[in-house]
């Protein structure tokens, strides 16, 4: 079962640079295309090209049943859910290849991107499915 993005801001669970980088990319995409920061869902085709981007109406994020329906319709996807507090939100992805994230970020991932910003360790590989609160 897929979990919905949190409706209320919770304490950050972010630990890795790639989380912050993808959040900032998503925030910028939303502002560039919509003029403000709003929730969006990207559904991908099996080979990694974008099939659809859905932007939520203000105040109507893709959570609960709305998210489940979108996720069920796409084998690979990315979700961005901003909070009212600037620079805070939730991102989640499912079966997203590292190469796609690198294409969006316009750069290759480096070892430093996988290091825990608290200095307590590192991931050893790209997480193809992930969720984080920032």
Angle, alpha carbons 53-58-59 (nearest 5°)? 115
- Summarize pLDDT for 10-28 with one digit per residue, the tens: 688 899 999 999 999 999 9
- Ordered by start, the domain boundaries in the chain are 17-133
For residues 82 and 89, the answer to whether their CB atoms sit within 8 Å is yes
Helix (H) or strand (E) holding 126: none
- Give Cα 85 to chain centroid, integer Å: 17
Helix axes 17-34, 98-105, angle to 10 degrees: 60
Calpha distance 37→120 (Å, rounded): 32
- The percent of residues in the chain predicted with pLDDT above 90, rounded, is 78
Calpha distance 56→97 (Å, rounded): 24
pLDDT of residue 4: 45
Is the confidence at residue 125, as pLDDT, over 50?
Answer: yes
Angle, alpha carbons 57-48-128 (nearest 5°)? 85
| Over residues 40-65, mean pLDDT | 93
For residues 60-92, b (16+ Cβ closer than 10 Å) or e, as one string? ebbbeebbeebbeebebbbbbbbbeeeeebbbb
pLDDT band of residue 7 (cuts 50, 70, 90) is low
Global pTM reads: 0.90
């Amino acid at each position: 079962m897929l979990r919905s993005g949190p409706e209320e801001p919770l304490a950050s669970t972010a630990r890795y640079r790639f989380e912050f980088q993808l959040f900032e990319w998503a925030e910028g995409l939303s502002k560039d295309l919509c003029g403000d920061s709003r929730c969006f869902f990207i559904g991908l085709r099996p080979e990694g090209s974008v099939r659809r981007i859905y932007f939520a109406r203000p105040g109507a994020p893709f959570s609960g049943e709305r998210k489940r329906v979108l996720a069920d319709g796409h084998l690979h996807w990315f979700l961005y859910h901003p909070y009212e507090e600037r620079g805070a939100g939730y991102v989640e992805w499912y079966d997203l290849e590292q190469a796609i994230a690198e294409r969006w970020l316009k750069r290759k991932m480096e070892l430093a991107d996988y290091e825990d910003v608290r200095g307590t360790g590192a991931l050893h590989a790209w997480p193809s499915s992930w969720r984080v609160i920032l």
